[in-house]
A and B are shown apart, each in its own frame.
Chain A
Amino acid sequence: MALLSKKDANLILDPLADNNPITIQVLGICSALAITAELKASVVMALSVLFVLGVGNVVISLLRNVIPSKIRIIVQLIVVATLVIVVDQVLKAFAYELSKTLAVFVGLIITNCIIMGRFEAFALGNGPWKSFLDGIGNALGYGVILIIVGFFRELLGSGTLFGIPVLGDPIRKTGLYSTGYENNGFMIIPPAALIVVGIIIWVQRSRNKALIEEA
């Protein structure tokens, strides 16, 4: 027996490809630009969103029948903000080093439109298990793009991956740099992320014509 029914599996797999929150729905772009200059930050952000979206979707789904529709957006915001603060405080107490890496992202997680988007579009209308899968799926879809963008920006911009030099030493001109190769400073500034995301969207749509909108 499969672990998940086909429908449930699609909840996870769809956002990874044909319904990706970044490349198809174009949500969460702000954080994709801000923090993908290095791979490590991308991974940390992806994991944080995975947690917040997974748990948040379940909470909203459990509350969906009692939340007054007039103030639902505020309720959603409070759920995200509470989760983020709880994570931040617990990390500060038990994993201080990690919490310092995360501090920058706390604000970015709260304002991430993917989270509010999934609460509003999915968790308010579906049960907790489905919402959980949807949250995980969307967070993974978001994380995959973040990591791809982070990979290229760090490699081309700084010549490192996870902070480890992979192309040689640009100052002492060793490795690839001895051939005259230079780091592309443009890759570490935010506009480069737009271009990389744009290329991903282009590749994805040229492989699957059905994704192209009618002009």
Chain B
Amino acid sequence: MAINTEKNSYTVIFAAVMVIIVGSLLAFLASGLRPRIDENERFEKQQNILYAMGVNQNEGEGSVSFIPTDIVEEEFAKYIKKQLVVLGTDTKEREEAYLIDMKKQLNIIKNGDEAELPLFIGEKDGKEFYIIPMYGKGLWDAIWGFISLDKNMVVQGVVFDHKGETPGLGANIKLRFFMDDFTGESVLDGNRISGISVVKGNNDPLNNDKEDNQVDALAGATITGNGVTAMIKETLKLYKPYLETIRTK
């Protein structure tokens, strides 16, 4: 049986049937896989938070290796002592504060309302870590990460990730050689909480100077680097009232 595929009615029916089939296939797939995807995203957040406070499986100078997903929940419960939301200088304990979406909170702030900013207090070898989530803009799309500080406002570790930075250029913000540079840098400029700048040509590629609030930029990724600088600065500005209450003067 030959079908006349040129008739308008056939075209419309074909389009409708195809949309229904494709639409239901994708809807079915998306809802079926949702729980697994959510779980993966949760594990990833936990891995990132732990990574920022130095709980990871890095070896030597190689690649980034997170705590494996099968034990990340136990490790998270073990090392993260408190999950807080920060309101100005006050804090409230909040279960599962790590699931708060930083992007949404920043939008709330932009609209002039009071946002709930998550902060995590971790403890390792008797030392306290204040871990702060960050969210900002790179060249193409969003960048985000976590920064952990001690009471002296010295960075204990950072972790960055991105949605669509250029592979080989801006995407390198999530590599060890870039992230490791932040560790040990102070976010204090004089006595003021300011941030850390990603700068080109600071004549310190090995980052031996930990007092200059600067780390060496990535070649070919100026805008992504500026995005990281801005992200750290903006985030610390939001948390400043609270950080002032905990820091040792």
A contact set with B: CB distance below 8 Å: 34-35, 37-38, 40-41, 65-71, 74-75, 78, 82, 85-86, 89-90, 92-94, 96, 100, 103-104, 153-154, 157-158, 163, 171-172, 185, 188-189
Contacts and interface: CB of A to CB of B under 8 A. Distances in A.
A90 B33 contact: yes
Q: Interface residues of B toward A: which range? A: 20 to 34
17 contacts: A35-B167, A38-B167, A66-B14, A68-B14, A69-B6, A82-B22, A82-B25, A85-B26, A89-B37, A90-B29, A92-B37, A93-B33, A93-B37, A100-B161, A163-B63, A171-B205, A189-B169
B37 A78 contact: no
B191 interface: no
Given A85-B26, A188-B219, A67 B206 contact: no
B5 A38 contact: no
A103 B165 CA distance: 11
Contacts of A65: 3, 5
Given A67-B5, A82-B26, A92-B37, A37 B11 contact: no
B219 A185 contact: yes
B156 to A, nearest CB: 23
A189 B220 contact: yes
Interface string B8-20: 0011001100100
A41 B33 contact: no
Given A78-B22, A188-B169, 5 more contacts: A35-B167, A65-B5, A67-B5, A86-B29, A171-B206
A37 B25 contact: no
Nearest to B29: A89
Nearest to A92: B37
Contacts of B94: none
Nearest to A45: B167
B36 interface: yes
B67 to A, nearest CB: 13
Nearest to A172: B206
A70 B5 CA distance: 9
B107 interface: no
B6 A96 contact: no
A188 B164 CA distance: 17
A184 to B, nearest CB: 11
A34 B166 contact: yes
A96 B44 contact: yes
Contacts of A96: 40, 43-44
B71 to A, nearest CB: 16
B104 interface: no
A80 to B, nearest CB: 11
B22 A89 contact: no
A19 to B, nearest CB: 28
Interface in B70-92: none
Interface string B83-121: 000000000000000000000000000000000000000
A41 B26 CA distance: 27
Given A68-B14, A69-B6, A103-B163, A92 B169 contact: no
Closest 3 CB pairs of A and B: A37-B168, A93-B36, A41-B167
A68 B10 contact: yes
Contacts of B206: 171-172
